[in-house]
Chains A and B, each alone.
Chain A
Amino acid sequence: METIFDVENFNLWYGDNHALHNINMKIEKNAITALIGPSGCGKSTFIKTLNRMNDLIPSVKLSGSIRYRGQEIVNSDINVYNLRKEVGMVFQKPNPFPMSVYDNIAYGPRTHGIKNKSQLNDIVEKSLRDAAIFDELKDRLKDSALGLSGGQQQRLCIARALAVKPDVLLMDEPTSALDPISTSKIEELVLDLKKEYSIVIVTHNMQQAVRISDYTAFFLLGDLVEFDKTDKIFSKPSDKRTEDYITGRFG
Protein backbone atom coordinates (compact mmCIF):
# COMPACT_ATOMS: atom_id res chain seq x y z
CA MET A 1 0.00 0.00 0.00
CA GLU A 2 1.27 3.40 -0.97
CA THR A 3 1.20 6.37 1.38
CA ILE A 4 0.16 9.78 0.04
CA PHE A 5 0.44 11.82 3.25
CA ASP A 6 2.88 10.87 5.97
CA VAL A 7 2.14 12.82 9.16
CA GLU A 8 4.70 12.70 11.96
CA ASN A 9 4.61 14.44 15.35
CA PHE A 10 2.49 17.22 13.89
CA ASN A 11 1.41 20.06 16.17
CA LEU A 12 -0.63 23.18 15.49
CA TRP A 13 -1.27 26.29 17.57
CA TYR A 14 -3.77 29.11 17.09
CA GLY A 15 -1.85 31.82 18.91
CA ASP A 16 -1.38 30.26 22.37
CA ASN A 17 -4.06 27.65 21.88
CA HIS A 18 -2.46 24.27 21.22
CA ALA A 19 -5.13 22.91 18.83
CA LEU A 20 -3.54 19.70 17.50
CA HIS A 21 -1.22 17.56 19.61
CA ASN A 22 1.40 15.30 18.16
CA ILE A 23 -0.56 13.78 15.31
CA ASN A 24 0.90 10.67 13.62
CA MET A 25 -0.84 8.99 10.70
CA LYS A 26 -0.18 7.63 7.24
CA ILE A 27 -2.92 8.46 4.75
CA GLU A 28 -3.20 5.91 2.02
CA LYS A 29 -3.36 6.47 -1.72
CA ASN A 30 -6.59 5.63 -3.57
CA ALA A 31 -8.49 5.15 -0.35
CA ILE A 32 -11.11 7.16 1.49
CA THR A 33 -9.99 8.33 4.90
CA ALA A 34 -12.69 9.74 7.15
CA LEU A 35 -11.91 12.17 9.97
CA ILE A 36 -14.54 12.04 12.72
CA GLY A 37 -14.94 13.60 16.13
CA PRO A 38 -17.04 16.14 18.02
CA SER A 39 -17.09 19.84 17.04
CA GLY A 40 -13.90 21.65 17.91
CA CYS A 41 -11.80 18.46 18.00
CA GLY A 42 -9.43 19.76 15.33
CA LYS A 43 -10.45 17.62 12.35
CA SER A 44 -11.27 20.58 10.07
CA THR A 45 -8.12 22.35 11.20
CA PHE A 46 -6.12 19.26 10.34
CA ILE A 47 -7.56 18.82 6.85
CA LYS A 48 -6.70 22.46 6.01
CA THR A 49 -3.03 21.84 6.72
CA LEU A 50 -2.92 19.15 4.01
CA ASN A 51 -3.16 21.79 1.26
CA ARG A 52 -1.83 24.69 3.34
CA MET A 53 -5.14 26.55 3.38
CA ASN A 54 -4.21 27.26 7.01
CA ASP A 55 -1.68 29.78 5.60
CA LEU A 56 -4.62 32.20 5.36
CA ILE A 57 -4.98 32.35 9.14
CA PRO A 58 -2.18 34.64 10.37
CA SER A 59 -1.80 33.42 13.97
CA VAL A 60 -1.25 29.73 13.13
CA LYS A 61 2.04 28.06 14.12
CA LEU A 62 3.04 24.53 13.10
CA SER A 63 5.64 21.99 14.12
CA GLY A 64 6.47 18.44 13.11
CA SER A 65 6.22 17.01 9.66
CA ILE A 66 3.67 16.26 6.94
CA ARG A 67 5.13 14.78 3.77
CA TYR A 68 3.04 14.74 0.62
CA ARG A 69 4.56 12.13 -1.74
CA GLY A 70 7.77 12.47 0.18
CA GLN A 71 7.91 16.28 0.07
CA GLU A 72 7.78 18.21 3.31
CA ILE A 73 4.87 20.70 3.37
CA VAL A 74 5.08 21.91 6.99
CA ASN A 75 7.04 25.17 7.41
CA SER A 76 8.74 24.51 4.11
CA ASP A 77 9.26 26.79 1.17
CA ILE A 78 7.20 24.81 -1.34
CA ASN A 79 5.04 26.31 -4.09
CA VAL A 80 1.66 26.22 -2.33
CA TYR A 81 -0.19 26.95 -5.60
CA ASN A 82 1.17 23.73 -7.10
CA LEU A 83 0.38 21.86 -3.91
CA ARG A 84 -3.22 23.10 -3.99
CA LYS A 85 -3.50 22.17 -7.64
CA GLU A 86 -2.62 18.59 -6.71
CA VAL A 87 -4.49 18.55 -3.42
CA GLY A 88 -7.94 19.91 -4.20
CA MET A 89 -10.57 20.93 -1.67
CA VAL A 90 -14.35 20.87 -1.41
CA PHE A 91 -15.91 22.99 1.30
CA GLN A 92 -18.73 22.52 3.75
CA LYS A 93 -20.95 25.13 2.13
CA PRO A 94 -21.17 24.81 -1.67
CA ASN A 95 -19.26 27.82 -3.01
CA PRO A 96 -19.66 28.08 -6.78
CA PHE A 97 -18.36 31.37 -8.19
CA PRO A 98 -21.01 33.85 -9.37
CA MET A 99 -20.45 32.95 -13.01
CA SER A 100 -21.75 30.36 -15.47
CA VAL A 101 -21.51 26.61 -14.91
CA TYR A 102 -18.96 26.41 -17.73
CA ASP A 103 -16.81 29.24 -16.39
CA ASN A 104 -16.83 27.71 -12.92
CA ILE A 105 -15.33 24.47 -14.21
CA ALA A 106 -12.97 26.23 -16.63
CA TYR A 107 -11.71 28.57 -13.91
CA GLY A 108 -9.02 26.23 -12.59
CA PRO A 109 -7.66 25.07 -15.99
CA ARG A 110 -7.63 28.69 -17.21
CA THR A 111 -5.73 29.70 -14.09
CA HIS A 112 -3.14 27.08 -14.92
CA GLY A 113 -2.68 28.38 -18.42
CA ILE A 114 -5.05 26.39 -20.65
CA LYS A 115 -6.56 28.76 -23.22
CA ASN A 116 -7.41 26.42 -26.10
CA LYS A 117 -11.19 26.39 -26.49
CA SER A 118 -11.67 22.77 -27.53
CA GLN A 119 -9.31 21.59 -24.81
CA LEU A 120 -11.34 23.56 -22.24
CA ASN A 121 -14.57 22.11 -23.63
CA ASP A 122 -13.19 18.62 -23.17
CA ILE A 123 -12.07 19.32 -19.62
CA VAL A 124 -15.44 20.82 -18.69
CA GLU A 125 -17.33 17.85 -20.09
CA LYS A 126 -15.03 15.26 -18.52
CA SER A 127 -15.09 16.96 -15.12
CA LEU A 128 -18.88 17.19 -15.14
CA ARG A 129 -19.13 13.54 -16.19
CA ASP A 130 -16.68 12.48 -13.47
CA ALA A 131 -18.78 14.37 -10.95
CA ALA A 132 -21.88 12.59 -12.28
CA ILE A 133 -23.67 15.81 -13.07
CA PHE A 134 -23.11 16.19 -16.82
CA ASP A 135 -26.54 14.92 -17.86
CA GLU A 136 -28.29 17.28 -15.45
CA LEU A 137 -26.32 20.32 -16.53
CA LYS A 138 -25.39 19.82 -20.17
CA ASP A 139 -28.12 22.22 -21.34
CA ARG A 140 -27.38 24.74 -18.61
CA LEU A 141 -23.66 25.31 -19.12
CA LYS A 142 -24.22 29.00 -19.81
CA ASP A 143 -26.59 29.54 -16.86
CA SER A 144 -25.39 31.05 -13.61
CA ALA A 145 -24.15 28.44 -11.19
CA LEU A 146 -25.95 30.29 -8.39
CA GLY A 147 -29.29 29.14 -9.82
CA LEU A 148 -28.55 25.44 -9.17
CA SER A 149 -29.88 23.53 -6.17
CA GLY A 150 -27.58 23.06 -3.17
CA GLY A 151 -26.78 19.45 -4.10
CA GLN A 152 -26.05 20.37 -7.71
CA GLN A 153 -23.86 23.25 -6.54
CA GLN A 154 -21.83 20.90 -4.37
CA ARG A 155 -21.32 18.40 -7.20
CA LEU A 156 -20.39 21.35 -9.44
CA CYS A 157 -17.77 22.30 -6.85
CA ILE A 158 -16.45 18.74 -6.92
CA ALA A 159 -16.32 18.90 -10.73
CA ARG A 160 -14.52 22.24 -10.45
CA ALA A 161 -11.94 20.64 -8.16
CA LEU A 162 -11.52 17.67 -10.54
CA ALA A 163 -10.97 19.99 -13.51
CA VAL A 164 -7.42 20.82 -12.40
CA LYS A 165 -6.62 17.07 -12.29
CA PRO A 166 -5.69 16.73 -8.62
CA ASP A 167 -4.30 13.61 -6.93
CA VAL A 168 -6.07 14.16 -3.66
CA LEU A 169 -9.49 15.54 -2.80
CA LEU A 170 -9.97 17.04 0.65
CA MET A 171 -13.63 17.29 1.61
CA ASP A 172 -14.62 19.30 4.67
CA GLU A 173 -18.08 18.06 5.66
CA PRO A 174 -19.26 18.21 2.04
CA THR A 175 -22.79 16.99 2.76
CA SER A 176 -23.62 18.75 6.03
CA ALA A 177 -25.56 21.50 4.23
CA LEU A 178 -27.44 19.09 1.93
CA ASP A 179 -30.66 17.06 2.01
CA PRO A 180 -30.55 13.23 2.28
CA ILE A 181 -31.00 12.57 -1.46
CA SER A 182 -28.21 14.96 -2.46
CA THR A 183 -26.10 13.47 0.31
CA SER A 184 -26.47 9.92 -1.02
CA LYS A 185 -25.61 11.13 -4.54
CA ILE A 186 -22.42 12.71 -3.24
CA GLU A 187 -21.56 9.56 -1.27
CA GLU A 188 -21.95 7.41 -4.39
CA LEU A 189 -19.82 9.88 -6.28
CA VAL A 190 -17.08 9.83 -3.65
CA LEU A 191 -16.99 6.02 -3.69
CA ASP A 192 -16.65 6.16 -7.45
CA LEU A 193 -13.87 8.76 -7.34
CA LYS A 194 -11.75 6.56 -5.08
CA LYS A 195 -10.48 4.66 -8.13
CA GLU A 196 -8.62 7.69 -9.40
CA TYR A 197 -8.18 9.92 -6.37
CA SER A 198 -7.14 9.71 -2.78
CA ILE A 199 -9.86 11.20 -0.61
CA VAL A 200 -9.78 12.66 2.88
CA ILE A 201 -13.22 13.56 4.19
CA VAL A 202 -14.24 15.28 7.41
CA THR A 203 -17.66 14.21 8.53
CA HIS A 204 -19.97 14.73 11.47
CA ASN A 205 -22.01 11.80 10.37
CA MET A 206 -20.70 8.47 11.64
CA GLN A 207 -22.98 6.45 9.35
CA GLN A 208 -21.42 8.28 6.47
CA ALA A 209 -17.94 7.30 7.61
CA VAL A 210 -19.08 3.67 7.86
CA ARG A 211 -20.74 3.76 4.43
CA ILE A 212 -17.91 5.21 2.42
CA SER A 213 -14.54 5.18 4.16
CA ASP A 214 -11.75 2.64 4.23
CA TYR A 215 -9.94 4.24 7.15
CA THR A 216 -11.25 6.33 10.00
CA ALA A 217 -9.38 8.72 12.25
CA PHE A 218 -11.08 9.72 15.50
CA PHE A 219 -10.07 13.13 16.83
CA LEU A 220 -10.89 14.38 20.31
CA LEU A 221 -9.82 17.72 21.83
CA GLY A 222 -6.86 18.01 19.48
CA ASP A 223 -5.63 14.43 19.93
CA LEU A 224 -5.75 11.73 17.31
CA VAL A 225 -7.25 9.08 19.59
CA GLU A 226 -7.43 6.24 17.13
CA PHE A 227 -6.68 5.66 13.48
CA ASP A 228 -7.44 2.34 11.86
CA LYS A 229 -9.48 0.51 9.25
CA THR A 230 -13.07 1.75 9.39
CA ASP A 231 -14.44 -1.76 10.10
CA LYS A 232 -12.13 -2.10 13.06
CA ILE A 233 -12.93 1.36 14.50
CA PHE A 234 -16.66 0.78 14.37
CA SER A 235 -16.64 -2.87 15.49
CA LYS A 236 -13.73 -3.27 17.89
CA PRO A 237 -12.30 0.12 18.80
CA SER A 238 -9.20 -0.24 20.92
CA ASP A 239 -9.67 3.01 22.85
CA LYS A 240 -12.48 3.48 25.37
CA ARG A 241 -13.06 7.07 24.20
CA THR A 242 -13.63 5.94 20.61
CA GLU A 243 -16.14 3.40 21.80
CA ASP A 244 -17.97 6.01 23.88
CA TYR A 245 -18.12 8.38 20.92
CA ILE A 246 -19.31 5.92 18.28
CA THR A 247 -21.92 4.47 20.60
CA GLY A 248 -23.24 7.99 21.14
CA ARG A 249 -22.25 8.52 24.75
CA PHE A 250 -20.97 12.01 23.98
CA GLY A 251 -20.37 14.29 21.03
Chain B
Amino acid sequence: MNLSDKSNKDSVETIASTIFLILGVINIGFVLLICVYLIIAGLPAIVKIGPIDFLFGTKWASTAADPKFGILPFILTSIYGTAGAIIIGLPLGFFSAVYLAKIASKKVRYVVEPLIDLLAGIPSVVYGFIGMLVLVPSIRTLFGLPDGASLFAAIIVLAVMILPSIIKVSITALEAVPQEYELGSLALGANEIETYYRVIVPAAKSGIAAAVVLGVGRAIGEAMAVMMVAGNAANMPSLFESVRFLTTAVASEMSYSSGLQREALFSIALVLFVFIMMINATLNVLLKRGGVKRK
Protein backbone atom coordinates (compact mmCIF):
# COMPACT_ATOMS: atom_id res chain seq x y z
CA MET B 1 0.00 0.00 0.00
CA ASN B 2 1.27 3.42 -0.85
CA LEU B 3 1.26 5.30 2.44
CA SER B 4 2.01 8.66 0.90
CA ASP B 5 -1.18 8.56 -1.18
CA LYS B 6 -3.61 10.69 0.76
CA SER B 7 -6.13 11.39 -1.98
CA ASN B 8 -9.03 9.35 -0.52
CA LYS B 9 -8.73 10.84 2.93
CA ASP B 10 -8.14 14.35 1.63
CA SER B 11 -11.28 14.76 -0.43
CA VAL B 12 -13.71 13.65 2.31
CA GLU B 13 -12.02 15.70 4.98
CA THR B 14 -11.82 18.82 2.87
CA ILE B 15 -15.50 18.66 1.98
CA ALA B 16 -16.52 18.00 5.58
CA SER B 17 -14.40 20.73 7.06
CA THR B 18 -15.55 23.22 4.42
CA ILE B 19 -19.20 22.49 5.22
CA PHE B 20 -18.60 22.93 8.94
CA LEU B 21 -16.63 26.10 8.33
CA ILE B 22 -19.44 27.59 6.23
CA LEU B 23 -22.06 26.73 8.85
CA GLY B 24 -19.90 28.24 11.57
CA VAL B 25 -19.31 31.39 9.59
CA ILE B 26 -23.05 31.79 8.92
CA ASN B 27 -23.68 31.70 12.67
CA ILE B 28 -21.03 34.23 13.51
CA GLY B 29 -22.25 36.28 10.54
CA PHE B 30 -25.72 36.61 12.07
CA VAL B 31 -24.31 37.77 15.38
CA LEU B 32 -22.00 40.29 13.71
CA LEU B 33 -24.79 41.52 11.44
CA ILE B 34 -27.12 42.18 14.37
CA CYS B 35 -24.34 43.78 16.34
CA VAL B 36 -23.19 46.09 13.56
CA TYR B 37 -26.71 46.97 12.49
CA LEU B 38 -27.76 47.87 16.03
CA ILE B 39 -24.75 50.13 16.48
CA ILE B 40 -25.28 51.86 13.15
CA ALA B 41 -29.01 52.26 13.71
CA GLY B 42 -28.80 53.06 17.41
CA LEU B 43 -25.94 55.50 17.72
CA PRO B 44 -27.22 58.50 15.67
CA ALA B 45 -30.22 59.16 17.95
CA ILE B 46 -28.05 58.95 21.05
CA VAL B 47 -25.73 61.53 19.52
CA LYS B 48 -28.64 63.77 18.44
CA ILE B 49 -30.43 63.60 21.79
CA GLY B 50 -27.18 63.67 23.75
CA PRO B 51 -26.01 60.59 25.69
CA ILE B 52 -26.70 62.18 29.09
CA ASP B 53 -30.22 63.36 28.20
CA PHE B 54 -30.94 60.01 26.60
CA LEU B 55 -29.65 57.68 29.32
CA PHE B 56 -30.49 59.80 32.35
CA GLY B 57 -33.52 61.79 31.17
CA THR B 58 -36.52 60.91 33.30
CA LYS B 59 -39.19 61.83 30.78
CA TRP B 60 -40.19 59.90 27.68
CA ALA B 61 -42.69 61.69 25.47
CA SER B 62 -41.85 60.56 21.97
CA THR B 63 -44.97 61.85 20.21
CA ALA B 64 -45.40 65.17 22.04
CA ALA B 65 -45.03 68.51 20.21
CA ASP B 66 -41.79 69.00 22.11
CA PRO B 67 -40.62 65.35 22.22
CA LYS B 68 -38.56 64.09 25.17
CA PHE B 69 -36.43 60.99 24.87
CA GLY B 70 -35.19 60.12 28.36
CA ILE B 71 -35.03 56.36 28.91
CA LEU B 72 -34.04 56.27 32.58
CA PRO B 73 -37.57 55.07 33.54
CA PHE B 74 -37.17 52.06 31.20
CA ILE B 75 -33.64 51.26 32.38
CA LEU B 76 -34.64 51.42 36.04
CA THR B 77 -37.83 49.45 35.43
CA SER B 78 -35.84 46.72 33.69
CA ILE B 79 -33.30 46.62 36.52
CA TYR B 80 -35.91 46.67 39.31
CA GLY B 81 -38.11 44.17 37.53
CA THR B 82 -35.23 41.79 36.97
CA ALA B 83 -33.92 42.20 40.52
CA GLY B 84 -37.39 41.59 41.93
CA ALA B 85 -37.82 38.48 39.81
CA ILE B 86 -34.48 37.16 41.07
CA ILE B 87 -35.31 37.97 44.70
CA ILE B 88 -38.48 35.90 44.43
CA GLY B 89 -37.36 33.31 41.89
CA LEU B 90 -33.90 32.49 43.25
CA PRO B 91 -34.85 31.16 46.70
CA LEU B 92 -37.82 29.33 45.22
CA GLY B 93 -35.76 27.80 42.42
CA PHE B 94 -32.73 27.12 44.55
CA PHE B 95 -34.60 25.28 47.29
CA SER B 96 -36.51 23.31 44.67
CA ALA B 97 -33.17 22.35 43.11
CA VAL B 98 -31.71 21.20 46.46
CA TYR B 99 -34.87 19.19 47.07
CA LEU B 100 -34.88 17.59 43.63
CA ALA B 101 -31.13 16.93 43.43
CA LYS B 102 -30.61 15.64 46.95
CA ILE B 103 -33.74 14.86 48.92
CA ALA B 104 -36.52 13.82 46.55
CA SER B 105 -37.05 10.16 45.74
CA LYS B 106 -36.47 8.95 42.20
CA LYS B 107 -40.23 8.76 41.63
CA VAL B 108 -40.81 12.38 42.60
CA ARG B 109 -37.99 13.52 40.34
CA TYR B 110 -39.35 11.39 37.52
CA VAL B 111 -42.64 13.28 37.70
CA VAL B 112 -41.45 16.78 38.60
CA GLU B 113 -38.54 17.26 36.22
CA PRO B 114 -40.56 16.91 33.01
CA LEU B 115 -43.05 19.39 34.49
CA ILE B 116 -40.25 21.89 34.98
CA ASP B 117 -39.17 21.34 31.38
CA LEU B 118 -42.76 21.97 30.38
CA LEU B 119 -42.75 25.22 32.35
CA ALA B 120 -39.71 26.28 30.34
CA GLY B 121 -41.48 25.43 27.10
CA ILE B 122 -44.65 27.46 27.67
CA PRO B 123 -44.69 30.42 25.23
CA SER B 124 -44.30 33.78 26.94
CA VAL B 125 -47.58 35.03 25.50
CA VAL B 126 -49.31 32.33 27.54
CA TYR B 127 -47.60 33.54 30.70
CA GLY B 128 -48.74 37.05 29.83
CA PHE B 129 -52.27 35.86 29.14
CA ILE B 130 -52.58 34.04 32.48
CA GLY B 131 -51.00 37.02 34.19
CA MET B 132 -53.52 39.36 32.58
CA LEU B 133 -56.56 37.24 33.41
CA VAL B 134 -55.60 35.96 36.87
CA LEU B 135 -52.74 37.90 38.39
CA VAL B 136 -53.61 41.49 37.44
CA PRO B 137 -57.20 41.37 38.76
CA SER B 138 -56.05 39.62 41.95
CA ILE B 139 -53.45 42.31 42.60
CA ARG B 140 -56.09 44.97 42.01
CA THR B 141 -58.46 43.45 44.56
CA LEU B 142 -55.79 42.42 47.03
CA PHE B 143 -54.11 45.81 47.26
CA GLY B 144 -57.17 47.94 46.45
CA LEU B 145 -55.58 49.53 43.36
CA PRO B 146 -57.40 51.21 40.47
CA ASP B 147 -55.47 48.92 38.10
CA GLY B 148 -53.48 45.77 38.89
CA ALA B 149 -51.22 46.05 35.84
CA SER B 150 -47.98 47.08 37.54
CA LEU B 151 -44.30 46.45 38.13
CA PHE B 152 -45.34 44.01 40.87
CA ALA B 153 -47.38 41.91 38.43
CA ALA B 154 -44.46 41.87 36.00
CA ILE B 155 -42.07 40.77 38.74
CA ILE B 156 -44.28 37.82 39.68
CA VAL B 157 -44.65 36.69 36.08
CA LEU B 158 -40.91 37.04 35.45
CA ALA B 159 -40.10 35.14 38.67
CA VAL B 160 -42.16 32.19 37.45
CA MET B 161 -40.64 32.40 33.98
CA ILE B 162 -37.05 32.22 35.23
CA LEU B 163 -37.75 29.33 37.63
CA PRO B 164 -37.04 26.52 35.14
CA SER B 165 -33.61 27.81 34.17
CA ILE B 166 -32.62 28.48 37.78
CA ILE B 167 -33.77 25.03 38.88
CA LYS B 168 -32.17 23.21 35.97
CA VAL B 169 -28.78 24.92 36.20
CA SER B 170 -28.70 24.64 40.01
CA ILE B 171 -29.46 20.91 39.83
CA THR B 172 -26.61 20.44 37.38
CA ALA B 173 -24.28 22.42 39.66
CA LEU B 174 -25.29 20.47 42.77
CA GLU B 175 -24.88 17.15 41.01
CA ALA B 176 -21.41 18.11 39.77
CA VAL B 177 -20.18 18.27 43.38
CA PRO B 178 -18.11 15.12 43.99
CA GLN B 179 -19.87 12.55 46.17
CA GLU B 180 -16.73 12.26 48.34
CA TYR B 181 -17.58 15.60 49.96
CA GLU B 182 -20.95 14.27 50.99
CA LEU B 183 -19.47 11.04 52.37
CA GLY B 184 -16.77 12.98 54.21
CA SER B 185 -19.32 15.16 55.93
CA LEU B 186 -21.68 12.31 56.85
CA ALA B 187 -18.76 10.28 58.22
CA LEU B 188 -18.07 13.12 60.66
CA GLY B 189 -21.55 12.70 62.10
CA ALA B 190 -23.18 15.60 60.23
CA ASN B 191 -26.77 15.00 59.20
CA GLU B 192 -27.97 15.22 55.61
CA ILE B 193 -29.34 18.77 55.75
CA GLU B 194 -26.16 20.13 57.35
CA THR B 195 -24.18 18.33 54.67
CA TYR B 196 -26.20 19.89 51.85
CA TYR B 197 -26.01 23.44 53.12
CA ARG B 198 -22.51 23.52 54.58
CA VAL B 199 -20.56 21.45 52.06
CA ILE B 200 -22.45 20.81 48.85
CA VAL B 201 -24.04 24.20 48.28
CA PRO B 202 -20.79 26.14 48.94
CA ALA B 203 -19.00 23.77 46.56
CA ALA B 204 -21.65 24.45 43.90
CA LYS B 205 -21.76 28.20 44.36
CA SER B 206 -20.19 29.18 41.04
CA GLY B 207 -22.72 27.02 39.22
CA ILE B 208 -25.55 28.53 41.23
CA ALA B 209 -24.22 32.00 40.42
CA ALA B 210 -24.36 31.00 36.77
CA ALA B 211 -28.01 30.04 37.31
CA VAL B 212 -28.72 33.51 38.67
CA VAL B 213 -27.05 35.22 35.73
CA LEU B 214 -28.97 33.04 33.31
CA GLY B 215 -32.17 34.02 35.09
CA VAL B 216 -31.21 37.69 34.87
CA GLY B 217 -30.61 37.31 31.16
CA ARG B 218 -34.01 35.73 30.61
CA ALA B 219 -35.83 38.26 32.74
CA ILE B 220 -34.25 41.37 31.24
CA GLY B 221 -34.85 40.19 27.67
CA GLU B 222 -38.51 39.20 28.14
CA ALA B 223 -40.97 41.42 26.27
CA MET B 224 -44.31 39.81 25.50
CA ALA B 225 -45.40 38.58 28.93
CA VAL B 226 -44.24 41.79 30.57
CA MET B 227 -46.06 43.97 28.06
CA MET B 228 -49.32 42.22 28.91
CA VAL B 229 -49.12 42.70 32.69
CA ALA B 230 -47.01 45.80 33.37
CA GLY B 231 -49.45 48.46 32.16
CA ASN B 232 -46.90 49.96 29.83
CA ALA B 233 -46.96 53.63 30.87
CA ALA B 234 -43.60 55.43 30.74
CA ASN B 235 -43.50 56.23 34.47
CA MET B 236 -40.51 56.20 36.74
CA PRO B 237 -40.77 52.76 38.35
CA SER B 238 -42.86 52.20 41.44
CA LEU B 239 -44.01 48.81 42.65
CA PHE B 240 -47.76 49.29 42.17
CA GLU B 241 -47.71 51.68 39.21
CA SER B 242 -47.96 50.98 35.54
CA VAL B 243 -44.43 50.78 34.11
CA ARG B 244 -42.59 50.20 30.84
CA PHE B 245 -39.49 48.00 30.41
CA LEU B 246 -36.68 48.49 27.86
CA THR B 247 -38.05 45.61 25.83
CA THR B 248 -41.64 46.80 25.86
CA ALA B 249 -40.57 50.36 25.06
CA VAL B 250 -39.22 49.11 21.74
CA ALA B 251 -42.04 46.70 21.05
CA SER B 252 -44.94 49.01 21.85
CA GLU B 253 -43.96 51.99 19.68
CA MET B 254 -42.11 50.40 16.80
CA SER B 255 -45.16 49.83 14.62
CA TYR B 256 -46.14 53.48 14.35
CA SER B 257 -42.82 55.26 14.91
CA SER B 258 -40.99 57.52 12.51
CA GLY B 259 -38.04 59.88 12.34
CA LEU B 260 -36.10 60.53 15.53
CA GLN B 261 -38.62 58.50 17.53
CA ARG B 262 -37.84 55.43 15.43
CA GLU B 263 -34.11 56.05 15.73
CA ALA B 264 -34.45 56.41 19.50
CA LEU B 265 -36.18 53.02 19.65
CA PHE B 266 -33.15 51.49 17.96
CA SER B 267 -31.00 53.21 20.56
CA ILE B 268 -33.07 51.59 23.32
CA ALA B 269 -32.51 48.23 21.64
CA LEU B 270 -28.78 49.00 21.61
CA VAL B 271 -28.82 49.75 25.35
CA LEU B 272 -30.65 46.47 25.98
CA PHE B 273 -28.12 44.68 23.80
CA VAL B 274 -25.25 46.12 25.85
CA PHE B 275 -26.95 44.92 29.05
CA ILE B 276 -27.32 41.40 27.65
CA MET B 277 -23.70 41.36 26.48
CA MET B 278 -22.54 42.31 29.97
CA ILE B 279 -24.66 39.57 31.50
CA ASN B 280 -23.28 37.01 29.08
CA ALA B 281 -19.71 38.11 29.81
CA THR B 282 -20.36 37.70 33.55
CA LEU B 283 -21.83 34.27 32.90
CA ASN B 284 -18.75 33.20 30.95
CA VAL B 285 -16.42 34.39 33.69
CA LEU B 286 -18.43 32.55 36.35
CA LEU B 287 -18.57 29.33 34.38
CA LYS B 288 -14.87 29.46 33.65
CA ARG B 289 -14.03 30.10 37.29
CA GLY B 290 -16.23 27.16 38.31
CA GLY B 291 -14.41 24.94 35.82
CA VAL B 292 -10.99 25.89 37.15
CA LYS B 293 -12.00 25.21 40.73
CA ARG B 294 -13.08 21.69 39.98
CA LYS B 295 -9.79 20.87 38.25
A97–B189 CB distance below 8 A: no
Do B184 and A157 touch across chains, with their CB atoms under 8 A apart? yes
Contact A97 B187 (CB under 8 A): no
Assess A91 versus B194: contact at CB under 8 Å? Given A98-B202, A98-B203, A99-B202.
no
In the complex, A112 has a CB within 8 A of chain B: yes
Given A97-B185, A98-B202, A98-B293: A111 touches B180 (CB 8 Å cut-off): no
Which residue of chain B lies nearest to A95 when distances are taken between CB atoms in the complex?
A: B180
Q: How far is the CB of A126 from chain B (nearest CB, A)?
A: 16
User: Contact: B187 with A88, CB < 8 Å?
Assistant: yes
Q: Could you mark each residue 142-160 of chain A with 1 if its beta carbon is under 8 Å from any beta carbon of chain B, else 0? A: 0000000000000001001
Report the separation of the CA atoms of residues A85 and B189 in the bound assembly, to the nearest whole angstrom: 5
Taking the complex as formed, is A184 at the interface, i.e. its CB lies under 8 A from any CB of chain B? no
Residue in A82, A97, A111 whose beta carbon sits within 8 Å of that of B194 in the complex: A111
Q: Which of A53, A81, A88, A98 has the most CB of B within 10 A?
A: A98
Chain A 3-52 residues near chain B, CB threshold 8 A: 51
- Smallest CB separation, B20 vs chain A (Å): 38
Q: Is A107 an interface residue (CB 8 A)?
A: yes
A95 near B293: Cβ-Cβ < 8 Å: no
B191 proximal to A (CB < 8 A)? yes
Report the tally of A-B residue pairs with Cβ distances under 8 A: 63
State whether the Cβ of A93 lies closer than 8 Å to any Cβ in chain B: yes
A81 with B189: in contact, given A95-B181, A98-B293, A111-B194 (CB under 8 Å)? Answer: yes
- Report whether B187 and A161 are in contact in the complex, using a CB–CB cutoff of 8 Å: yes
Measured CB to CB, the nearest residue on chain A to B188 is: A108
Task: Establish whether residues A112 and B184, one from each chain, have CB atoms under 8 Å apart when the complex forms.
Answer: no
- Tell whether, in the assembled complex, residue B188 and residue A161 are in contact, meaning their CB atoms are under 8 Å apart: yes
For B181, list chain A residues within 8 Å (CB). 95, 97-98
Q: Give the CA-CA distance A179 to B184 in the complex, in Å.
A: 22
Tell me whether B199 is interfacial, beta carbon within 8 Å.
yes
Q: A84 vs B194: C-alpha distance in the bound complex, in angstroms?
A: 14
**8 Å CB contacts to A: which residues of B264-295?**
293
Is the CB of B190 closer than 8 A to any CB of chain A? Answer: yes
Taken together as a complex, chains A and B put the C-alpha atoms of A83 and B203 apart, in Å, by 26
Given A95-B181, A98-B181, the answer on whether A112 and B189 have CB atoms closer than 8 Å is: yes
A89 within 8 A of B: yes
Q: How far is the CA of A88 from the CA of B190 in the complex (A)?
A: 11
**Which residues of B in the span 173-215 have a Cβ within 8 Å of any Cβ on A?**
178, 180-181, 183-191, 194, 198-199, 202-203
Q: From B178, B180, B188, give the contact of A107 (CB < 8 A).
A: B188
Main secondary structure of the interface of B (DSSP, over half): helix
- How many Å from the CB of B126 to the closest CB on chain A? 39
- Bound CA span A168–B180, Å: 20
Chain A residues lying within 8 Å of B188, measured Cβ to Cβ, are 84-85, 88, 107-108, 111, 160-161, 164
Q: Shortest beta-carbon distance, A182 to chain B, in Å?
A: 18
Q: Which residues of B contact A99 (CB under 8 A)?
A: 202
Known contacts A97-B181, A98-B203: A81-B187 contact under CB 8 Å: no
The answer to whether B189 touches A107, judged by C-beta atoms less than 8 angstroms apart, is: no
Q: B190 touching A81 by the CB < 8 A rule?
A: yes
Residues of B within 8 A of A157 (CB): 184
Q: Residues 242-276 of chain B: 1 if any A CB is under 8 Å from the residue's CB, otherwise 0?
A: 00000000000000000000000000000000000
A95-B184 contact in complex given A81-B191, A111-B189, C-beta closer than 8 Å? yes
- Return the chain B residue nearest A104 by Cβ: B184
Nearest-Cβ distance from residue A112 to partner chain B, whole angstroms: 7
Closest to B295 in A: A146
Which residues of B are interface residues toward A (Cβ below 8 A)?
178, 180-181, 183-191, 194, 198-199, 202-203, 293
Question: What is A's interface to B at a CB cutoff of 8 Å?
Answer: 51, 53, 56, 81-85, 88-89, 91, 93, 95-99, 107-108, 111-112, 157, 160-161, 164
A-B contact pairs, 10 of them (CB 8 A): A56-B183, A81-B191, A83-B189, A89-B187, A95-B183, A97-B185, A98-B181, A108-B190, A112-B189, A160-B184
Nearest 6 pairs of A and B residues by beta carbon: A85-B189, A95-B180, A89-B187, A108-B188, A84-B189, A95-B184
Sample of 18 further A-B pairs with CB below 8 A, known A51-B187, A97-B199, A164-B188: A53-B183, A56-B186, A84-B186, A85-B189, A88-B188, A91-B187, A93-B180, A95-B178, A97-B181, A97-B184, A98-B181, A98-B203, A107-B185, A108-B190, A111-B188, A111-B189, A111-B190, A161-B187
